[in-house]
Amino acid sequence: EPEVTQTPSHQVTQMGQEVILRCVPISNHLYFYWYRQILGQKVEFLVSFYNNEISEKSEIFDDQFSVERPDGSNFTLKIRSTKLEDSAMYFCASSLYLAWEQFFGPGTRLTVL
């Protein structure tokens, strides 16, 4: 069964450093998303992406964040200068249609020291 994959599973970085979180969505899916979950809290929407453009971004997704689909398979989230409060689990998701279930990857746990 096709699945969304994410690498790395755990990333530790120093405050102020840049990180890139990588995702490989399900191959025939057209819509891509990033969510984050601070430990013990609810899952929060960051950004949605379709046709090589951001469809919507949340207030969390400020200028420090960017997304890219550099080739036909990868979907990346970059945080330019990490802050302590960026420590969270980051989930990538994809869907075939807009009003359809989103399939989530296993997540990347980001720890900012």
SS3 of 82, please? coil
Residues touching other proteins, count (CB under 8 A): 26
Q: Tell which one of 19, 61, 102, 112 touches other proteins (CB under 8 A).
A: 102
Q: What is the DSSP string of 42-72?
A: -EEEEEEEETTEEEEE-TT--TTEEEE--SS
Nearer to other proteins, 15 or 98 (CB): 98
What is residue 17's DSSP assignment?
-
Q: Which residues bind other proteins (CB under 8 A)?
A: 31, 33, 35, 37, 41-45, 48, 50, 55-56, 58, 89, 91, 93, 95, 98-99, 101-104, 106-107
